[in-house]
Amino acid sequence: MNYKDKYKLWLESSVIDENTKNELGNLEDEKEIEDRFYKDLEFGTGGLRGVIGAGSNRLNIYTIGKATQGLSNYLNDKFQRPSVAIAYDSRHMSSEFAEYAARTLCGNNIKTYLFETLTPTPILSYAVRFLGCKAGIVITASHNPKQYNGYKVYGEDGGQLTDKAAGEVLDCVNAVDSFEKVTSISLEQCKNKNLLTYVGEEIYSTYLEKAKDLTIRKELVKESAKDLKIIYTPLHGSGNIPVRRVLKELGYENLRVVKEQELPDGDFPTAPYPNPEDPKVFKLALAMAEEFKPDIIIGTDPDCDRIGAVVQQGQGEYKVLTGNQVGALLSHYILSALKENQQLPANGAIIKTIVSTDMIKPIADKYGIEVMEVLTGFKYIGELIGNFEKTKANEFLFGFEESYGYLSGDFVRDKDAVIAAMLVCEMTLYYKSKGKTLYEALMDLYNEFGYFKESLISIELKGKEGQEKIASAIDYLRNTDITNIDKYKVVKKFDYKLSVARELSNGDEEEIELPKSNVLKFVLEGGSWFVIRPSGTEPKMKIYVAAVGKTLEQVENNLSIIEKSVSSYIDNCIK
Which residues carry out catalysis? 142
Q: What is d(CA 368, CA 344) in angstroms, rounded to the nearest whole number?
A: 9
Q: What is d(CA 515, CA 521) in angstroms, rounded to the nearest whole number?
A: 15
Secondary structure letter of residue 433 according to DSSP: H
Environment class of residue 145 by beta-carbon count within 10 Å: exposed (0-12), middle (13-18) or buried (19+)? middle
CB distance 494 to 523 below 8 Å: yes
* DSSP helix/strand/coil, 453: strand
CB distance 153 to 82 below 8 Å: no
**Which amino acid type is present at position 464?**
K
Closest CA to 56 of 14, 1, 103: 1
Q: b/e for 308-317, b at 16 or more Cβ within 10 A?
A: bbbbbbeeee
CB distance 423 to 406 below 8 Å: yes
CB distance 52 to 147 below 8 Å: yes
Q: What is d(CA 521, CA 509) in angstroms, rounded to the nearest whole number?
A: 14
Pairing verdict, β 509-511 and 307-314: unpaired
The secondary structure of the chain in percent helix, strand, coil, rounded to multiples of 5, reads 40, 25, 35
Q: What is d(CA 416, CA 404) in angstroms, rounded to the nearest whole number?
A: 10
Secondary structure letter of residue 179 according to DSSP: G
**Which amino acid type is present at position 205?**
S
Environment class of residue 468 by beta-carbon count within 10 Å: exposed (0-12), middle (13-18) or buried (19+)? exposed
Closest CA to 400 of 388, 386, 422, 417: 417
CA atoms within 13 A on the CB side of 365: 7
CA atoms within 13 A on the CB side of 247: 30
